[in-house]
Amino acid sequence: MPEKKILTKNCGKIDPGDVSTYEAEGGFKALEKTLRISPEEVIAEVKASGLRGRGGAGFPCGAKWELARKSKGDEKVLICNADEGEVGTFKDRYLLQHDPFSLMEGMAIAGYAIGAGKGYIYLRSEYHYLLEGLQKAIDQSKEKGYLKDLEIEIREGAGAYICGEESALMNSIEGKRGESRFRPPFPPESGLFEKPTIINNVETLVNVPHIIQNGSEWYGAMGTDESKGTKLFCVSGDVARPGVYEMELGCDLKELVMDLAGAKEIKMIQVGGSTGGIIPSDMLSTPLAYETILGSGAVMVFDQTRDVVDFTYRTMEFLNEESCGKCTPCREGTEVMVGVLGRLVNGEGVDGDMEVLEELSDTMKLSALCGLGQTAPVPVLDTLKYFRKDYENRISQSVFLRSLKTVNG
């Protein structure tokens, strides 16, 4: 399956600083079509397309919109999540850099469908260099009359991974610490400033004009049963050609990393970001889809020279730093995991370390407040499953090192 450029068809072709080049490629035609039908019909079309959230969680987009549409409340809010903090993910940056107008069109359609008059783009501060271009895209789209019913404001983060989590993101916009909220209530019912709110990832919103323009049937013909359309994959790590690749969902992981990105002698691949699952080299033919493994679309490749325990330690250190600290299972759980993994990395492991990691993983999965804590154990459990020998070696090496110390000491 070769690359299939739908979301990225304009990238490199249009001038991201000039709206008329976007119009020349058929831009805003989907918005015109949208305004001729009812919001309910727009939602029905998006529902029928099978579009699911592209930020990582994969919630059905149309169903979410419907909840917000039906929600009581005079003012509804649309938020575009451009916080892209997931490790190894840079697809939204690519879209914002090369085709910000597609996002404007997607937001205008989404705003119309749910009945939102106010829209926010929450941009991570690491992407501050995109702010000017994005503001220009808003201004130009507005000048041309495409954002008549939706006022879009950019809000910047200040360096916090957790703010990509939707409830933390809303707290951040409200001027609070970016900590996750208890749910319910869910955002479509009560979100930003307690108003019905829809939060969609950049890539999700960029899908919308294509669905409206070409119809849900056309869209639904791409992908698998539960994963429709195309997806942007961000390939990084031990590959010859890192970058963004757009493929039909259900495509072959092996083809993506080996044929397209030029990976060789693979040991394992982490798919979906820091809390993504691990695919060992003998399972490379796994299809990339919501049914199997997908997440944010980050694909990090590790070759045979890489150390699994080092990787897990580094990943857990990241999650521990970025845990917002609100709930105990995540705040303390990631702390203890860093301690145990750090012991193993430093040759100070003890018998029972693997069991401690497994038990703690179960607790965190069950009891953490949000996705960060619930999925933080995934890379630990997956590496324990596929590379248990590497952990066992670390422990036996630790025991050996200690025995030397005893002899010498």
Minimal distance in Å, beta carbon 402 to another protein? Answer: 27
CB nearer to another protein: give 23 or 317: 317
| Cβ burial, residue 258 (10 Å; 0-12/13-18/19+) | middle
Q: 89 — phi, psi (to 5°)?
A: -115, 130
CB nearer to another protein: give 174 or 355: 174
Minimal distance in Å, beta carbon 173 to another protein? Answer: 6
Beta carbons of 71 and 180 less than 8 angstroms apart: no
Classify strands 116-123 and 76-82 as parallel, antiparallel or unpaired: parallel
**Segment 364 to 403, residues that bind another protein, using CB under 8 A:** none
What residues contact 219, with CB distance under 8 A and at least 6 apart? 49, 50, 51, 207, 210, 211, 228, 229
Q: Which stretch binds another protein (CB under 8 A): 103-111, 238-246, 360-368, 383-391?
A: 238-246
**Segment 184 to 213, residues that bind another protein, using CB under 8 A:** 193
- In the shown chain, the binding pattern of residues 314 to 333 toward another protein, with x for contact by CB under 8 A and - for none, equals xx--x--xx-x---------
Residue 237 in the binding site for another protein (CB under 8 A): yes
Beta carbons of 220 and 48 less than 8 angstroms apart: yes
Give the span between the Cα atoms of 381 and 397, in whole angstroms: 21
Q: Element (H or E) spanning 317, and its range? A: helix 308-322
Minimal distance in Å, beta carbon 309 to another protein? Answer: 13
CB nearer to another protein: give 66 or 382: 382
Q: Which stretch binds another protein (CB under 8 A): 11-19, 73-81, 151-159, 389-397?
A: 151-159
- In the shown chain, the binding pattern of residues 36 to 65 toward another protein, with x for contact by CB under 8 A and - for none, equals ------------------------------
Give the span between the Cα atoms of 239 and 237, in whole angstroms: 6
The alpha-carbon radius of gyration of the chain (Å, integer) is 22
Beta carbons of 79 and 116 less than 8 angstroms apart: no
Minimal distance in Å, beta carbon 204 to another protein? Answer: 17
Residue 161 in the binding site for another protein (CB under 8 A): yes
What are the distances in angstroms from CA 385 to CA 274, 365, 408? 17, 16, 36
Give the span between the Cα atoms of 310 and 346, in whole angstroms: 10
CB nearer to another protein: give 84 or 105: 84
Q: Which stretch binds another protein (CB under 8 A): 70-78, 236-244, 345-353, 382-390?
A: 236-244
Identify the residue among 166, 203, 238, 390 touching another protein (CB under 8 A).
Answer: 238
Give the span between the Cα atoms of 69 and 76, in whole angstroms: 8
Residues at the contact surface with another protein, assessed by CB under 8 A: 84-90, 92-93, 124-129, 155-161, 172-178, 193, 234-238, 242-244, 270, 274, 298, 300, 302, 306, 311, 314-315, 318, 321-322, 324
